[in-house]
Each structure stands twice: as C-alpha cells, then as structure tokens.
A and B are shown apart, each in its own frame.
Chain A
Amino acid sequence: MSGAARRFTIALMVIGLALAALATAGLPAFYESFLYIIFSWIALATSWAILSGYAGYFSFGHGAFFGAGMYTTATLTTRFNVPFLWTLLAAGLIAAALGAGIGAVVFRVKRLRGELFGLLTLAITFVLGTIVLNTRIDGGPGVFLSAVPLPRLLASPTGTIYLLGLALAVTTVGVAYAIGRSRLGFGLFAIHDDEDVAEVEGVPTFRYKLAAFALSAGIAGVAGGIHAMYVGYVTVGETFSITVPLYVVLMSVLGGARHWLGPAVGATLIAASLYAFTGGQQAVLGRAAVALVLVLVILLLPEGVVPAVLRRWRSWRPRTPVMETAPAPEILDGHAREPHVAPRPASLVVSDVTKAFGGIQALRGVSLSVAPGEIVGLVGPNGSGKTTLINLISGHYQTDGGRIELGDVTLSTRPAHEVAGLGVSRTYQIPRPFAHLTALDNVAVAATFGAARRSPGHARAEARRWLEFTGLSRRAAALPSELNLHERKFLELARALAGQPRVILLDEVLSGLNPGEIASAIGLIRQIQARGVAILFVEHLMRAVLALSDRLVVLNEGEVIASGSPHEAMRASRVIEVYLGKSHVA
C-alpha cells in the first residue's frame, strides 16, 4: 500500500469510528436521523459515480436498484420472516444481479451512451415500478415494516439505523477510492474518454462496465434495504420516483463525479440543505433555492466543487507536486518489480481477408505477412482499404472471411482487448488521446492493459520510459489538449509502444509533421524495428515509405495489386496505372 493510500485508509477509519462513537455516546434521535439521511445519500451518490462518474455512463436508473433493495427487504422481512440484517445481503445481491442483467443487454448496443443510456435506465425504473405495483410484491397499498424486529446494535432504533448507514457510507467511499486507483478504475477512466480506443488499448470494456454497474447497483440495493427499515412504510410512488436518480446525479455533478470524494461532498451539501427546509411553504422555497444553486454551480463550475477546490489549492501551493507528476515507482499491490521481459517475437499473417460495409466491399481477399523486425509498407490511394485492414487486425471490426494470425494464435475471432493483450498495438491517423488523462496516464493505460500486464503503479514507471523514448518527458503532466500535433502524434507512438507489442500498426504517423519532425519519427521507427517488433506501416509519404520499408504491399479498391521490394512494387504496371493513369504505363 502506498503512502497516500495508507493515509486515506487511516483517515477514513478515524472519521468512521468518531462518528460511530458519537452515536454510542447518546446523540439525540433527531441528529441521528438527520445524519443517517446524509449517509444514505453519500452511499447512493458515491455508488452511482462508480459507473456513471468514472466510466461516463450517466444512469438515471439508480432509483430502480434502490427500489429493488427496498422491496427485497420489505418482502423478505414481512412475508418470509427473514432477519433484517440478512435481507440487506439479499437486497444487495438482487440489485447487483439486476444491474448486471441490464448491463449484459444494454452494453452490447454500441451507441447507447450519454443521454440515451440515461433515458433507457430511467425507463427501466418506471417499468420496474409498474411491475412491482401490479404484482404481489406490492399490489398497490404499500408494505408496512413496523412489525419487523430491528436488531439492537445500539439502544435506540434510530441509533442502529444510523450505524448501518454510517458503515455503508464509509465502505462505499472506501470502495470508490480503491477502484479509482486500481486497474478497474484506470480502465473505467479510459472508457469515459474514448471507449473504442480503450478497447483497442486492451481494456476489457464490456466486463469492466458490467462489473462497475453491478457494484454500483448492489450498493444502491443495500442502501435501499436499510432505508426500507428507516421509513417503515414502502410505496411504489415514493420508491420508483424520479427523486433518487435525479438527486444522485445532481449531488455527484455538484461535488465532481470523476473524483472519489466529489459525490460525498455533493450529497452532504444537498441533503443538509434539503433537510434545513422541511415542512410547509418554507420547504417549497428551500427546494427552489437548492435548485438555483445547482443551476449556478453547473454553469459556473462544470467539473464540480471538489476538483475546482483542489485546483485552487494546488495553484496556491505550487511547490506541492501534483499526484500525476510524483516520482512514479509507487508499488501499489506489493508485488516485486517485474523485469522487462521482451515478448516472444511473432509474425503477423493476414490471409484472404474480406470485409464489406453494407453494399461496399472494402476488402476483397487481402493477404500479407509481417515478420518480426520487418517493416512492411502498406500504400494505396484513399479508400483502398488500408485503415479498414488496420481496424480488422486490431479487432475493432470483425472480418467477414479469411484469417488473421499472430504466430500460432488466431486474432480474427477475438475481441479487440484480447488482440491488444496478445501484443498488437496501433496508432490513429488523427490522434485519439484520452482527453481527461495526462500524457503520462495516457501511456500508462496502454502499459496497464497491453501485452505486458502491469498494475497502474508499475505502468506509470513504464510509461515514463516511453515518454522519454519519444522525447515527451517534459510534457508528462500535460493534458492532451495542451499538446501540439507533433506531440500528440508522438504520444500515439508512446502509447502504442508501452504495451510491449509484438506487432505495431502505424496509421499515417507522419502526416502533418514538418521535415525535422519526420526525420526524428523515422529514427524512432528504426529503433522500434531493432527491438524485433513487426511493423505494418501505412503512409502516403512515399519518400519515407521507400526509405523505411523492407517490403511494400499496394492496395487498390480492397485488393492487393502488387507486393515485393519497394522499388519492384512501385514499378509494377498496375501500380503506375492506379496512381498515374493508363497513359503512363510504359
């Protein structure tokens, strides 16, 4: 455990124990209820942010999981006489299963992101509410829990509920913190910024989203179970309403959804101010005031309160190193430093690959191979299928026919993250860095999830090496928006290298660079080649292609029209015809 993580754990435990001691010392019941409400919202908002803040999948369905938990506890305690504490476990499990089930369907549909995912989850909440209302689970009149015995953790019932809420809130914040520093969190942050690239870098996006959704839903379910006991009377109208999903979104956005502490801060601010205005006409104006503050905060501090405050704090104390620039080798998981094992070299073999998009045949039976330490240039006019081929090899698209193999492993049937894990990495013609991650963390994502699997701590150390290799060391703490085109192109290269790949697919890395930058890029590619990596080099800049390539493959309209040594291939009559027209064929 690193120093920061240890300090965090200690601080969280001290706060938790202090608050628990407060209750045993005999806090008035009013304050216990007041604080319980805040704890409950902290748990709900923080759990929501595990999927929605970290991975950017804004869910408006948190009420469904909260409600599933409430009704699980209500049903099990009143109908089946299950002890209350056991029903909390069941509430968590059922809500988690519900989340995983929804995720398993929804996450297969690529375009369901952003506000569409939000609407879908909101719709699911109302569907679930309607079902509960019309079946034996509720049936209409609501469920009374007043006769259910509450275990006596403390002398008073409110004290017991207070303790449960506190335990859940502390656990949830701890879980959010731990995830933020783990592989899972790293992957979720990458998904937030660019899911396609994350998958190609090796992040198992589907599994990670599912895990985050299940965890987020499960915690909401437990919170619901506790809350059922707190309110003592569960109704569909109160449970599956728009209140829970909207308040958790607002709390998280107010506090800062991408920061582990943000939702907790937002929840405390909003829940406390709502409580201050309960009862009568005053409550109406209070609600309006809270909403007004919310509108202003979203307009003025779109990133949230916590990140904004932290930024101010750091700019006051410029000496304090920012976390991202701190010396890297923080060893998070206690393993010894891994040696840099160069991966076993392997050849990339593409045989008879076809791909169509609707009626357009993008590739018609393309075959080529790249041996370790070899640079194969792939050229052809625009639209000839070069980038499509790269997308097929990296697993972003699935082939219609033919095979793609790396050594003795077939790539063409695997999802992109497995292909990346086997040692295939690529660059994008137009750089696609993760916008909210620093240059260092951009490279560290690839180092975490690429062919050589590392913990995020080791990955940062590795990433530093590759930034140095590409001459970007001084820009390690910069966000991609602060980099110029040349730096972004080199960041793409560093990211492709950090996974310790056996094959690199370079998609027009030189386009848009000036002659000096091209010269240094060519030098880098030569060094990569010397490490025994197989390089497929797509480029329009003929001089560079001829200088670098050992062999050349020429594509036109999805077909290989020539291949061989660069000069041979360029002299083939079909190639001259395609590039210059029939009259130039001598």
Chain B
Amino acid sequence: MPSLTLLGQALVSGVLAGGIYGLLALGLSLSWGLLRLVNLAHFALALLGAYLTYQLGTALHMSPWLAAAAIVPGFFLLGCGLHAVFAYFRVTEFTSLLVTFGLTVILESLLQWFWTADYRRYETPYATASLRVGPLFVPVLEMLACLTAAALALATWAWLRFTYVGKALRASAEDPAMAAAFGVNHRRQAFLLSGVSAAYAGVAGTFIALISTLAPAQIWAWVGVVFAVVIIGGLANPIGALLAGLLIGVSESITMAVVTPAWAPLVSFSVLIVILLVRPGRV
C-alpha cells in the first residue's frame, strides 16, 4: 500500500490531468451534442495549437499568452471554415467521423512534415514552478490549465443555459425542423458553435505546449480517453465534461500509483464500456 502522501500527490496530479481531459472534451462534446458532428479532428487541432504556440515561442520569442491571443481567434475562424465544408456537403453524424478522421491524418502528416516525429519540448520559466501545499506539490501551469477548464466549462454552461443563442442551439439539437419553425436560425448558430469549439481546441493547445512534450502521434493517445470523458459527462453538458474529466484523471493516476502505470488505460475504457452498456440513453 503506497503512503498517504503518494496517494495525495496522485490525487492532485489526477485532478490536474483531468482538467486537460475536460478542456479537450468540452469542444468535442459541444459539437457532437449540439451539431451531431463527431469531430475527431478536434485532437489534431489542439495539437496544431500546441505546435503553433511552441513555434511562436521558440522562433519569435513570443510569450505563450500572446501566442494564445493570436491562436484562439484564428482557430475560431478555422472552426467556422470547417463547418462551412460540413454544411455544404450535408455531412451526417457518421460521415463526420470518417471525414474528420481523414482531416486528422492530414494534419498529423503536416505536423510531422514541419516539426518531424521527434519529441519537442517548449522550455519556459514557469514550466517547473510549483506551489507547495503541506507535503504536496501543485505545478502552477497545470493548475492554471485546470482552472481555465473549469472557468470555460462554467461559462459555456451559463451561455447554453441563459442566453438566447444557447437555448436556440439546444432547441435545434433536439428538433431542427421545429426550432426552425419557431424562427431559430440554426445555420448561423452552428457556425458560431463550431468556431467556439475550435477556439477551445486552441486554448487546450496552448496549455498542452506548456505542460507536455510534443509529438504528432500524441493525437491518438487522447482519442480513447477523451471520448470516454465526453460520453461519461453527457453530450453537450459542459459541467459534466469537466467532472468526467476529473473522474477519469483521478482514477487513472490512482491506478498508476497503486497498481502500475501500464494498467491505467484499462480504467477509462472500462468505465466507458460499462456506461455504454448500462446507460446507452446518455448519449
């Protein structure tokens, strides 16, 4: 049995990793739940955001926060453009998965072309900064990522819950024809939502650049875990995505601490399988 300090540290790093999962899940959950588009390319966009942050920081010595300020609006436009393609070809829920898989491979290849398959590490002064809380260490950057995820999840929740656009989006997701009959302009709002979803990928990308080592194949490492998070959290449920991210993050890091790291993937996938079998209606 590992010591309490070790368990506590595992808990902290689980919560922090879970924040990143939640941040990645947020955009995916929105476009899947509200537009019925399963966007695999979300992961590739996030990694593209990370590489851009890295490039702007190392080549132009731009601060990561300034880089994010450029990347996030750019990604918003990129998301809108992507949606224009989906809308033009009337992409369905299932073909969206195939098309975005293709896009993911294209993006992965481009990342590999520009930055090679070697690992890249973005060294920043804050990378090693951490707070000390009793016997536990809390890395500052990861905490910031987790707090950002929480803030975005809350803001998105409020946006969907209280604004006209949010309500219109939810109404269209439930019954597009009926919502249109009541004057909802689904087309315009779909563009907005795709933009927001891609912008979230940009935010996630900035933090990924700061926190982890980059390699193009990283894209695939997230797919399973984040899909599990999205489904456990419930589609188009921002708070659910965040909490599910934390749940998976914590259960993975506890597994790593108590058993061995190699068993960690079993946790999220088993949770996903059980939820699909017991409560398929959640999705």
Residues of A in contact with B (beta carbons under 8 Å apart): 58, 105-106, 109-112, 114-116, 118-120, 122-124, 126-127, 129-131, 133-134, 140, 241-242, 246, 249-250, 253, 281, 284-285, 287-288, 290-292, 294-295, 298-299, 302
Closest 5 CB pairs of A and B: A288-B109, A291-B105, A295-B102, A111-B280, A123-B269
Interface of B toward A, CB cutoff 8 Å: 38, 85, 89, 91, 93-95, 97-99, 101-106, 108-110, 112-113, 220, 223-224, 227-228, 231, 260, 262-263, 265-266, 269-270, 272-273, 276-277, 280-281, 283
Residues of A within 8 A of B276 (CB): 109, 112, 116, 119-120, 123
Specify which of B98, B113, B265 lies most central, judged by the most chain A CB atoms within 10 Å of its CB: B98
Determine the residue in chain B with the shortest Cβ distance to A287: B109
Contact A123 B102 (CB under 8 A): no
Q: Contacts A115-B97, A127-B269 given: A295-B263 contact, CB under 8 Å?
A: no
Chain A residues near B223 (CB-CB < 8 A) = 242
- Does A133 contact B262, Cβ atoms closer than 8 Å? yes
CA gap between A354 and B103 in the complex, in Å: 53
Q: A123 contacts which chain B residues (CB < 8 A)?
A: 224, 228, 269-270, 272-273, 276
7 contacts between A and B (CB under 8 A): A287-B105, A291-B103, A291-B105, A294-B105, A295-B99, A298-B95, A299-B99
Listed residue (A120, A140, A287) with the most chain B CB atoms within 10 angstroms of its CB: A120
A298 to B94, CA, bound (A): 11
Q: Chain A residues near B85: list those with CB within 8 A.
A: 299
Q: Chain B: which residue is nearest A131 at the CB level?
A: B266
A124 surroundings in chain B (CB, below 8 A): 269, 273
Collect the chain B residues with CB atoms within 8 Å of residue A133's CB.
262
CA distance A137 to B228 in the complex (A): 26
Chain A residues within an 8 Å CB radius of B38: 115
* Cβ of A383 to closest chain B Cβ, rounded Å: 21
In the assembled complex, the Cα of A129 lies from the Cα of B269 at a distance in Å of 11
Q: A253-B98, A298-B102 are in contact. Are A291 and B109 (CB under 8 A)?
A: yes
- Report the separation of the CA atoms of residues A279 and B112 in the bound assembly, to the nearest whole angstrom: 13
In the complex, are the beta carbons of A109 and B91 less than 8 A apart?
no
Contact call A114/B280, Cβ cutoff below 8 A: no
**B97:A118 contact, CB within 8 angstroms:** yes
Closest to B98 in A: A298
| Distance from B48 Cβ to chain A, minimum over Cβ atoms (Å) | 14
Partner among A115, A134, A281 whose Cβ is within 8 Å of the Cβ of B263: A134
Give min CB distance, A379 to chain B, whole Å: 30
Residues of A within 8 A of B280 (CB): 109-112, 116
In the complex, how many angstroms separate the beta carbon of A177 from the nearest chain B beta carbon?
25
Q: Is the CB of A116 within 8 A of B262?
A: no
A119's closest neighbor in chain B, by CB?
B227
Q: Is the CB of A119 within 8 A of B231?
A: yes
B36 closest partner in A (C-beta): A115
What residues of chain B lie closer than 8 Å to A292, measured between beta carbons?
A: 102, 106
Partner of B110, one of A112, A140, A246, A288: A288
Cβ contact of B220, chosen from A114, A242, A284, cutoff 8 A = A242
Measured CB to CB, the nearest residue on chain B to A124 is: B273
**CA A119 to CA B101, docked complex, whole Å:** 14
Q: Complex: how many Å from CA A300 to CA B231?
A: 30
Which residues of chain B come closer than 8 Å to A246, judged between CB atoms?
Answer: 101
Task: Count contacts between A and B, CB distance < 8 Å.
Answer: 111
Is there contact, CB below 8 Å, between A295 and B106?
A: yes
Please give the distance in Å from B135's CB to the nearest CB on chain A.
30
Q: For residue B225, which residue of chain A has the nearest CB?
A: A126
- Shortest CB distance A62–B (Å): 15
Contact between B99 and A298 (Cβ–Cβ < 8 Å)? yes
Other than the given A120-B272, A123-B224, 16 more pairs (CB < 8 A) read: A109-B276, A120-B273, A120-B277, A127-B269, A130-B269, A131-B266, A133-B262, A288-B113, A290-B105, A291-B104, A292-B106, A294-B105, A298-B102, A299-B85, A299-B89, A299-B99
Bound-state Cα–Cα, A130 to B262, Å:
7
Instruction: Let me know if B283 and A116 touch, CB within 8 A.
Output: yes
CA distance A134 to B95 in the complex (A): 35
A129 CB to nearest B CB, Å = 8
The distance from the CB of A429 to the nearest CB of chain B, in whole angstroms, is 20
The closest CB in chain B to the CB of A296 belongs to: B102
Chain A contacts for B220, CB-based, 8 A? 241-242
* Contact (Cβ within 8 A) A130 B265: yes
- Chain B residue at minimum C-beta to C-beta distance from A254: B98
A250: which of B94, B98, B108 is its contact (CB, 8 Å)?
B98
A419: min CB distance to chain B, Å: 25
Residues in B neighbouring A249, C-beta threshold 8 A: 98
Q: Which residues of A contact B91 (CB under 8 A)?
A: 299
Q: Which residues of B contact A118 (CB under 8 A)?
A: 97
**Contact (Cβ within 8 A) A134 B262:** yes
Residue of A58, A119, A134, A242 ringed by the most chain B CB atoms within 10 A: A119
Query: In angstroms, how far is the closest chain B Cβ from the Cβ of A300?
Result: 8
Please report the C-alpha to C-alpha distance between residue A295 and residue B270 in the assembled complex, in whole angstroms: 32
Give the shortest distance, in Å, between A290 (CB) and chain B (any CB).
Answer: 8
Min distance, Cβ A551 to any Cβ of chain B, angstroms: 40
Residues in B neighbouring A131, C-beta threshold 8 A: 266
Partner of A115, one of B93, B110, B262, B270: B93
Distance of A241 Cα from B260 Cα, bound (Å): 21
Of the listed residues B85, B97, B228, B231, the one surrounded by the most CB atoms of chain A closer than 10 A to its CB is B97
Select from chain A the residue with minimum beta-carbon distance to B102. A295
A281 contacts across to B, CB distance below 8 A = 113
Contacts of B266 in A (CB 8 A): 127, 130-131
Say yes or no: B102 contacts A134, CB within 8 Å. no
Q: Most B CB atoms within 10 A — which of A110, A285, A290, A298? A: A298
Q: How far is the CA of A291 from the CA of B44 in the complex (A)?
A: 14
**Residues in A whose Cβ lies below 8 Å from that of B89:** 299
| Contact B94–A126 (Cβ < 8 Å) | no
Cα-based distance from A495 to B69 in the complex (angstroms)? 62
Q: Which of A122, A129, A294 contacts B102 (CB 8 A)?
A: A294
With contacts A122-B224, A242-B220, A292-B102 known, is A58 near B94, CB below 8 A? yes
Could you tell me the distance between the alpha carbons of A119 and B102 in the complex, rounded to whole angstroms? 17
User: Could you say which residues of chain A place their CB within 8 Å of the CB of B265?
Assistant: 126-127, 129-130
Output the least CB separation between B226 and chain A (Å). 11
Most buried by A among B220, B223, B262, B280: B280
- Chain A residue nearest to B270 in the complex (CB): A127
* A contact residues around B270 at 8 Å (CB): 123, 127
Instruction: From B93, B95, B106, give the contact of A291 (CB < 8 A).
Output: B106
Q: Which residues of A contact B95 (CB under 8 A)?
A: 298-299, 302
Q: How far is it, in angstroms, between the C-alpha of A214 and the C-alpha of B235 when the chains are bound?
A: 31
Query: Which of B262, B269, B281 is close to A126, meaning CB atoms less than 8 Å apart?
Result: B269
Contacts of A294 in B (CB 8 A): 98, 102, 105
Q: Which of these, A110, A285, A290, contacts B113 with CB under 8 Å?
A: A285
Q: Closest residue to A122 on the B side, CB-wise?
A: B224
Chain B contacts for A110, CB-based, 8 A: 280
Among B91, B99, B266, B269, chain A packs the most CB atoms within 10 A around the CB of B269
In contact, A109 and B224 (Cβ under 8 angstroms):
no
| Contact flag A109-B277 (CB < 8 Å), given A126-B269, A299-B89 | yes
| Distance of A139 from chain B, by nearest CB (Å) | 10
Interface centre among A105, A115, A133 (most CB of B within 10 A): A115
Residue of A nearest to B86 (CB): A299
A contact residues around B105 at 8 Å (CB): 287-288, 290-291, 294
